[in-house]
Amino acid sequence: MPETRQDRKPGPTVIARLDALLPPEMAEVAERVGVEKTRRDAVGLTMLAVIAGADIAFGAIFSTTVASEAGALPYGVGRLLAGLVFSLGLILVVVGGAELFTGNNLMVMAWASRHVSTVSLLRAWGIVYVGNFVGGAGTAAMVFLSGQYRFGGGAVGRTALTIAEGKTALPFLEAMMLGVLCNVLVCLAVWVCFGARSMADRILAILFPIAAFVAAGFEHSVANMYFITIGLMIRAWAGDPFWADIGATPADFPSLDLAGLVANLVPVTMGNIIGGGILVGAVYWFIYLRPRRAAGR
């Protein structure tokens, strides 16, 4: 005789957990994610890094466009708007799944627990850093070839040049400290995402820390791979009509050259590692994972 619905025994009820993870659980997730990143093959890791570089570049394009001719707004309001739209970059990285050097500084937590070796950590960081540069610079090349910098009567291009010039003119110590402060906020955004349960959770966790670092003028190495590269391309290859439209010449941006790119990326990258790897990753490891390791678990 076939079994009827009334004859069936109720199975165990599975209740999905909807509340966010607590910080000790988030630390375990961060540690596990760090291990997984070192196990990716080089080709896959490189492709995900290129995607992340392009994702951040899209946030930078959005931010540059919104900031163009925004001088009528109070300084803080204009910076806030630029920061909010720049958040698109990390949203695409986290929700879409990609490998970003600055966020990957949290891999220090897995390294500190001795789940990954120093060689594996540096390998992952190196591959992702190069891939991020390819993605950011490649996107800059496409934006330049599209002529998007000429929009608004050249206003977008002028803003891009001004941003790039400001970054390449920074003194070493200032650039490094701005990089430290930036990646504290970026890695805190990624850290909070480890506790998220939904896509909406992740987006909200990202929005305000990223808007804060952009509004405050902090320095992000991967974003600068786009910002400075697009500035270099405009300065070198924009035609005379563009310069006439903005009432300026390449000589008005003296710090914007390849040496300026290196002079920015070196201290900013160092600062990003300190801010994300030490002030966020190592601190949370010390608080939540060190006791477990001391207990032999």
Lowest-confidence segment of 2-11, 260-269, 285-294 by average pLDDT:
2-11
Q: Which residues make Cβ contacts (< 8 Å) with residue 214, sequence separation at least 6? A: 63, 79, 82, 83, 86
Q: CB–CB of 194/103 below 8 Å?
A: no
Q: Identify the DSSP state of 5.
A: G
Query: Mean pLDDT of all residues in the chain?
Result: 93
Give the containing element (helix H, strand E) for 26.
helix 23-38
Q: Which residues contact 25 (CB under 8 A, 6 or more apart)?
A: 195
Give the Cα separation of 204 and 94 in Å (integer): 12
The residue extents of the domains of the chain are: 22-290
Contact by Cβ (8 Å): 202, 94: yes
DSSP codes of every residue in 190-238? HHHHTT--SHHHHHHHHHHHHHHHHHHT---HHHHHHHHHHHHHHHHH-
Give the span between the Cα atoms of 256 and 277, in whole angstroms.
29
Res 145 pLDDT > 70: yes
Instruction: Specify the pLDDT at position 70.
Output: 81
Q: Centre a 10 Å sphere on the Cβ of residue 126 and count the other Cβ atoms it contains.
A: 11
The amino acid occupying position 288 is Y
147 dihedral zone (left: phi>0; alpha: psi -120 to 50; beta) = left
Residue 94 has pLDDT above 90, yes or no: yes
Amino acid residing at 77: V
- Would the pLDDT of 92 be above 70? yes
13 pLDDT above the threshold of 90? no
- Give the mean model confidence (pLDDT) for residues 21-26: 94
pLDDT digits (tens, 9 = 90+) for 240-281: 999 999 999 999 999 999 999 999 999 999 999 999 999 999
Q: Can you give the pLDDT at residue 296?
A: 60
CA angle 159, 163, 165 (to 5 degrees): 115
> Which pLDDT value is given to residue 9?
53
| pLDDT 10s digits, 67-80 | 998 878 899 999 99
Mean pLDDT score, 28-42: 96
Q: Which residue has the tokens 């958040």?
A: 87
Model pTM score:
0.91
pLDDT confidence bin for 10, thresholds 50/70/90: low
Measured between alpha carbons, how far is 267 from 179 in angstroms, rounded to an integer? 7
The whole-number pLDDT of residue 19 equals 75
What is the pLDDT confidence band of residue 186, given thresholds at 50, 70 and 90?
very high
Please give the Cα distance from 105 to 184 (Å, whole number). 10
What is the rounded distance in angstroms from the CA atom of residue 291 to the CA atom of residue 297? 9
pLDDT of amino acid 14: 41
Please report which confidence band the pLDDT of residue 20 belongs to, taking 50, 70 and 90 as the band edges.
confident
Percent with pLDDT over 90 in the chain: 89
Fold of 22-290: Glycerol uptake facilitator protein (1.20.1080)
- pLDDT recorded at residue 209: 97
Q: What's the average model confidence in pLDDT over 135-139?
A: 98
